[in-house]
Amino acid sequence: MKNLHYSLLSLFLFLFLLFSIQIQTQTQEQQQQDTPITRFQRYLQINTAHPNPDYSSAISFLKTQAEAPDLNLQVQTLDFSPNKDKPILLLTWLGSNPSLPSLLFNSHLDSVPAEPSKWSHPPFSAVRSSDGHIYARGAQDDKCIAIQYLEAIRNLKAKHFSPIRTIHVSYVPEEEIGGADGAAKFVESKEFEDLNVGFVLDEGQASPGDEFRVFYADRTPWNVIIKSKGAPGHGSRLYDNSAMENLVKSIEVVSRFRESQFDVVKAGKAAFSEVISVNPVYVKAGIPSPTGFVMNMQPSEAEAGFNVRLPPTADPDFLRRRIAEEWAPETRNMTYQSVSYITILSTFD
Ligand SMILES: *[C@@H]1O[C@H](CO)[C@@H](O)[C@H](O)[C@H]1NC(C)=O
Ligand SMILES: [Zn+2]
């Protein structure tokens, strides 16, 4: 009986200890789980990469953050896309004088794709290594900005700061593919007009140190595709104006242009952001064979793609003329396509 009493007591003690240890580790875990870093990691774990960005999970994560008592922001979801599958999240912190023009802080929800096999950690694991680095697609571009806005507001609210102007935070979709169904339609909307925005901050570049770098201009991206045609022929024949020859001539012209712009930067006469950058991103030609390409045949078509960035000070017509007259001249049977943001830009013109 006494023995049983003791064993029961030790069992209770044991269970009690086990239980309290569990509670303790749970609280520690919870504390670990709710810091700016872990909130950032959770946002990074949402796969918002193109071509299938998970907008709804991203929005629901941000919404939960914004509606929590320590942030307590007004939340609105907008969607201007035809299929209503490209939502915009708009958060509002009302100022003490809402009649003044407001401040808008913007970031985009989507990310560019990743090639998981080339990553040391899966691109949506948001693994934090022992040296403090976090690995995730979209970490710099631009989920860090999205989280910084929320954490800054959280800090300010904790210090009982109250803004004079109303502050809006917007999270927009489709930025990485031109924003046609995102920011472009948002800025044209009645909802945007009603925000009475006086000043906007958008993404810049991540800073490796503790300082914030502020940029006041961004370059316009143009995707330029040039195509050449020419008579096909046997691989052994020497003749003029094959598709490959015509394309190679253009690539040389583009390379010289690239070099001339880069030289200005190298000579210290302009910053990277002040010249037109052009980089070849793909070349497509050849006749596929089961083992690669047919080697004894000169193809009748070839194409190359370039990513071009135009600073706000550059003249778009200057570049359009150059593309038409030198990069892809009709006289060399070349055609071109600017799958560029020109179409979107024209709505801003
Ligand atoms: C352009 O195409 C035409 C018709 O195929 C051909 O006669 C001419 O030689 C080509 N010119 C060049 C520069 O490729
Ligand atoms: Zn970005």
Q: Delimit the domains of the chain by residue range.
A: 34-201, 220-348
Q: What is the pLDDT of residue 209?
A: 85
Q: What is the pLDDT of residue 18?
A: 53
Q: Please, which residues have CB within 8 angstroms of residue 294's CB and are 6 or more apart in sequence? A: 286, 287, 288
H/E stretch holding 9 reads helix 2-33
H/E stretch holding 106 reads strand 102-108
Q: What is the pLDDT of residue 268?
A: 97
Q: Which residues of the chain have pLDDT under 70?
A: 1-32, 339-349
Ligand 1 lined by 47 (C-beta under 6 Å): no
Q: What is the pLDDT of residue 346?
A: 34
The answer to whether the beta carbons of residues 311 and 275 sit under 8 Å apart is yes
Ligand 1 lined by 320 (C-beta under 6 Å): no
50 is in an annotated binding site: no
3-state secondary structure at position 56: helix
Q: What is the pLDDT of residue 208?
A: 81
Question: Which residue type occupies 53?
Answer: P
Q: What is the pTM of this model?
A: 0.64
Class for the domain spanning 34-201:
alpha beta
> Distance, CA 176 to ligand 2 centroid (Å)?
7
Q: What is the pLDDT of residue 2?
A: 46
141 is in an annotated binding site: yes
User: Considering the domain 220-348, what is its CATH architecture?
Assistant: 2-Layer Sandwich (3.30)
Q: What is the pLDDT of residue 345?
A: 37
d(CA 66, CA 153) in angstroms, rounded, equals 10
> Distance, CA 230 to ligand 1 centroid (Å)?
7
Catalytic sites, residue numbers: 110, 175
The answer to whether the beta carbons of residues 87 and 78 sit under 8 Å apart is yes
Please indicate whether the domains covering 34-201 and 220-348 agree at the CATH topology level: no
- Testing ligand 1's pocket by substitution, the residue of 227, 228, 239, 241 carrying the most ligand atoms inside 8 A of its CB is 241
Ligand 1 lined by 242 (C-beta under 6 Å): no
Ligand 1 lined by 300 (C-beta under 6 Å): no
Q: What is the pLDDT of residue 1?
A: 46
3-state secondary structure at position 57: helix
Q: What is the 3-state secondary structure (H, E, C) of 139-199?
A: HHHHHHHHHHHHHHHHHHHHCCCCCCCCEEEEEECCHHHCCCCCHHHHHHCHHHHHHCEEE
